[in-house]
């Protein structure tokens, strides 16, 4: 894409960006004072946040590896954000360099940055797009060139659907993507929840109202509904650290503290 399709208002450094805040939680420096301020306030309200974020990132890594083990070699990562560490293509191409990965994000700065550091071997691409518009995303040239619709795909919606409001009908969005996925494809999903720590969740959601992507945390039932039509792989929709922990990962007595559900569904 030679011409960006975002408006100047999308690049507003007076506003925190969810992608840059996430980067900060993961220990990155791809962020600005305004992002760090929001993160600091959030951490003050909810000291576990950085750990929750890291747990989420670890889930992503484990889920990608699970998909790889299931034979999947193409990935569509919606809401990929600022690539700090442990990105999908790194994880995937470490196992098989032939893996193809397309990142999609709404944040123009995240997109430009991703492009700057993306290896130019032609198996990864970044699309500036809004995941809420599945038809536009699926029609993007990079998606059409890199991803084979007849081959199983891993659709990654990791810590992103809680930025989709009910008015935008996230279930319909997921269903639309699912429609285009070959049988055997996987949906990798993690989602913030207020269940477990409702007193923390509420002010946290309010903080994100400052960004261009306000939050909508959902209950277990609501998140499960998003996976409608997929066969959940073991262990189902569970707290973040409980999803297929790796050997040596510290067991946690209070996994609900992690304030997020994770699950992987397989399209029959």
CB 229 to other proteins: min, Å: 31
Is residue 135 involved in binding other proteins (CB under 8 A)? no
Residue from 52, 59, 99, 114 touching other proteins (CB under 8 A): that is 114
CB 30 to other proteins: min, Å: 4
Q: Would you tell me how many other CB atoms lie within 10 Å of the CB of residue 236? A: 15
Only segment of 28-36, 188-196, 208-216, 258-266 that touches other proteins (CB under 8 A): 28-36
Contacts 24+ apart (CB under 8 A), 173-177: 173/131, 173/132, 173/134, 174/226, 174/227, 174/228, 175/228, 175/229, 176/134, 176/135, 177/76, 177/134, 177/137, 177/138
Q: Please work out the total of residues on this chain that contact other proteins, with binding judged by CB under 8 A.
A: 51
Q: Report helix, strand or coil for 181.
A: coil
CB 220 to other proteins: min, Å: 25
Q: Restricting to residues 148-167, which ones interact with other proteins according to CB under 8 A?
A: none
Q: Which is nearer to other proteins, 74 or 84 (CB)?
A: 84
Q: Residues 103, 73: contact at Cβ < 8 Å?
A: no
Is residue 66 involved in binding other proteins (CB under 8 A)? no
Residue matched to tokens 């992987």: 264
Is residue 82 involved in binding other proteins (CB under 8 A)? yes
Q: Which is nearer to other proteins, 82 or 264 (CB)?
A: 82
Contacts 24+ apart (CB under 8 A), 93-99: 93/123, 95/65, 95/68, 96/68, 97/123, 98/73, 98/123, 99/68, 99/73, 99/74, 99/75, 99/123
Task: Give burial (CB, 10 Å; 0-12/13-18/19+) of 11.
Answer: middle
Is residue 90 involved in binding other proteins (CB under 8 A)? yes
Residue from 74, 84, 185, 213 touching other proteins (CB under 8 A): that is 84
Q: Restricting to residues 181-200, which ones interact with other proteins according to CB under 8 A?
A: none
> Which residues sit at the interface with other proteins, rule CB under 8 A?
3-4, 6-8, 10-11, 13, 20, 26-32, 51, 53-54, 57-58, 61-62, 82-87, 89-91, 94-95, 103, 108-114, 116-118, 124, 246-250
């Amino acid at each position: 894409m030679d011409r960006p399709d975002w408006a100047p208002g999308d690049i507003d450094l007076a506003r925190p960006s969810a992608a840059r805040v996430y980067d900060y939680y993961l220990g990155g420096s791809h962020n600005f004072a305004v992002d760090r301020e929001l993160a600091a306030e959030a951490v003050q309200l909810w000291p576990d946040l950085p750990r929750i974020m890291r747990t989420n990132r670890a889930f992503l890594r484990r889920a990608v590896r699970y998909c790889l083990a299931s034979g999947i070699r193409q990935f569509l990562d919606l809401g990929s954000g600022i690539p700090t560490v442990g990105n999908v293509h790194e994880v995937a191409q470490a196992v098989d360099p032939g893996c193809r990965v397309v990142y999609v994000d709404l944040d123009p700065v995240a997109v430009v940055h991703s492009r700057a550091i993306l290896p130019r071997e032609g198996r990864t691409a970044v699309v500036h797009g809004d995941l809420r518009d599945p038809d536009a995303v699926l029609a993007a040239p990079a998606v059409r060139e890199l991803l084979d619709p007849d081959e199983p795909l891993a659709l990654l919606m990791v810590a992103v659907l809680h930025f989709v409001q009910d008015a935008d009908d996230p279930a319909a969005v997921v269903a639309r993507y699912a429609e285009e996925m070959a049988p055997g494809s996987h949906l990798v999903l993690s989602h913030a929840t207020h269940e477990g720590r409702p007193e923390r969740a509420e002010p946290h959601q309010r903080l994100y109202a400052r960004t261009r992507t306000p939050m909508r945390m959902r209950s277990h039932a609501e998140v499960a509904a998003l996976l409608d039509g997929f066969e959940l792989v073991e262990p189902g929709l569970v707290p973040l650290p409980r999803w297929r922990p790796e050997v040596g990962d510290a067991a946690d007595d209070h996994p609900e503290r992690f304030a997020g559900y994770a699950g992987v569904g397989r399209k029959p």
